[in-house]
Amino acid sequence: MNLSDVGLLTLEHLELVIVGTFFGGLAGFLLAIWVRRRPRWAASFLGLAEVIQTIPGIALLAFLLLALGLGNPPVYVALALYAILPVLSNTYEGLQGVDPVYLAIGKGMGMTPGQIFRQIELPIAFPVILAGLRVALVTSIGIATIGVFVGGGGLGVLIFRGLQTIDIQTMLAGAIPAALLAIVLEVGLSLLERRLARATASK
Amino acid sequence: MSWLADFWSTYGSQILPALGQHLILVGVALASGIIVAVPLGIILTRFPRWSSPIIAVVSIIQTIPSLVFFALLIPIIGIGLQPALLVLFLYSLLPILRNTYIGVRSVDPTLLDASRGQGMTSWEILYMVELPLSAPIIVAGIRLAAIYLVSWATIAALIGAGGLGDLIFSGIDSENTNLLLAGAIPTAFLALIIGFVFGQVRRLVTPRGLRAEVVTKRDLRTEVVVG
């Protein structure tokens, strides 16, 4: 194991996380927009996403392994599934939280529903949506590490190899970058959210 | 149905002890987590100057993935049942501490003033006002910790803690689909059942006056971390 290995596996880890979260997040976002005018569906979709979220990572990966075989595919799908709930619930609640007065003002100014959505609702809800995305990303860094058990790549490979051969150096070579990735994402995105929330509030 | 009967007669004798071991891991870690983290969370609310850095650090530690957390601690504590229990206990502290702190802090200060004005001592205020009002949020933290623990305990099988994770990992290693399912299905159901039970407990401990309110759902949800 050398440093370039760690670099490559970190990149692969990020690729898994970003691609998986992108598709899951997109699904959550679109679902939230679709269900917010249909309150009866909202509860069932949120409930279903919450059930998926509750299933332990290794169990979900095991089910997906049976359906998709060994390798990165089950990891991508698991990451996407886990990304749905945080983005769905935060987008939904963020949009619901927009003060109706703003919507009335937009309407009064002659804005179309599309303009109201893009220029009023989305910017106001954005910090909350971003918080959902942050949770999804940080979660998926963790799920991606256990993806190694179903043949996935990424930093979990080093941790697992280290565990099997009781080689602490290899184990830490995977664990430390993975922990740092999660922490940097969490802290960085939290700071960004706070800035955005302040900017929105001061407008 | 005969498939299910066959499955059970083959794997039941493996599932039951693994499930029992899993429940012991989760139960011991959760109980000790509650005993330590709830009082600690309450104490934190009494020292506002220390609390925000501590809560910030706790939130950051909580983002460390499970497998990574085990890997980081193995060099220090080794492997086996006791180290696994220690890791599970440490991890269960985080959500409970955080939610206890947030819950107790969220109690309306005018209610505390009113209680003090009635001559209640600070212990009475804690037991009769602050804890009942923050109970739903504290229980939400305990629920989160319990769900995580079911998931974390499967990973703990890697360092020799036993439990349902053993079945999943040996199923993967030996490419034995049934063994894999014998571990994965009970694990998934256990997490769902525990989540549901604590959800009901949370509803039960919610004071009647608060039931109509939407208890800051997002606060409780943004910390969903699986793995």
Q: Domain map of chain A by residue range?
A: 3-202
Q: Which amino acid is at A111?
A: M
Phi, psi of B103 (to 5 degrees): -65, -50
Identify the weakest region by mean pLDDT among A155-164, A168-177, B7-16. Answer: B7-16
Mutation test of the interface with chain A: which of B62, B64, B68, choosing the one with the most A Cβ atoms within 10 A? Answer: B68
CB contact under 8 A, B227 and A145: yes
Task: Tell me the per-residue pLDDT of B97-133, one tens digit each, with 9 for 90 and over.
Answer: 999 999 999 888 898 889 988 888 888 888 888 998 9
Percent of chain A surpassing pLDDT 90: 54
Q: What's the CA angle centered on B11, arms B6 and B12, to 5 degrees?
A: 95
**How large is the average pLDDT for residues B152-175?**
89
Q: Give every CB contact of residue A50 below 8 A, 6+ residues apart in sequence.
A: A85
Average pLDDT estimate for A85-95: 92
pLDDT score, position B213? 54
Between B54 and A39, where is the model more confident?
Answer: B54
Q: Which residues of B103-139 are buried (b: 16+ CB within 10 A; e: fewer)?
A: bbbebeeeebeebeeeebeeeebbeebbbbbbbbbbb
Q: How many residue pairs from chains A and B have C-beta atoms closer than 8 A?
A: 145
Q: Does A95 touch chain B (CB under 8 A)?
A: no
CB-based contact A181:A13 (threshold 8 Å): yes
Position B227 pLDDT exceeds 80: no
Interface membership of A152 toward B (CB under 8 Å): no
Q: How much is the average pLDDT of B50-59?
A: 86
Q: What is the ipTM of this complex?
A: 0.83
* pLDDT of B35 strictly over 50: yes
**Nearest-CA neighbor of A87 among A20, A41, A37?**
A20
Give dist(CA B82, CA B28) in Å, integer.
11
The mean pLDDT of B166-190, rounded to a whole number, is: 90
A window 122-141, beta carbon within 8 A of B: 128, 131-132, 135, 138-139, 141
Residue A91 identity (one-letter amino acid): T
The per-residue pLDDT for B60 is: 86
Asked if residue A190 lies in contact with residue A127, where contact means CB atoms within 8 angstroms, the answer is no
Q: Which of A141, A142, A171 sits opposite B74 (nearest CB)?
A: A171
What's the confidence (pLDDT) of residue B216? 45
Average pLDDT over every residue of B51-65: 86
The architecture in CATH of the region A3-202 reads Orthogonal Bundle (1.10)
Closest by Cα among A79, A31, A72, A90 to A52: A79
Radius of gyration of chain B (CA): 20
Per-residue pLDDT, A201: 66
Task: Give B169's contacts in chain A (Cβ within 8 Å).
Answer: 149
Coil vs helix vs strand at B42: helix
Residue whose C-alpha is closest to residue A88's, from A45, A34, A42, A32: A32
C-alpha distances in angstroms, A146 versus A57, A122, A173, B45, B216? Answer: 8, 34, 15, 36, 32
Question: What are the tens digits of pLDDT across the range A147-165?
Answer: 999 988 899 999 988 888 8
Say if residues B135 and B205 touch (Cβ distance below 8 Å). yes
* CATH numbers and ranges of domains, chain B: 12-221 (1.10.3720.10)
B165 by Cβ neighbours in 10 Å (0-12 / 13-18 / 19+) ranks as buried
DSSP codes of every residue in B102-165 = HHHHTS-HHHHHHHHHTT--HHHHIIIIIHHHHHHHHHHHHHHHHHHHHHHHHHHGGGT--SHH
Which range, A36-50, B69-83, B192-206, has the best average confidence (pLDDT)? Answer: B192-206
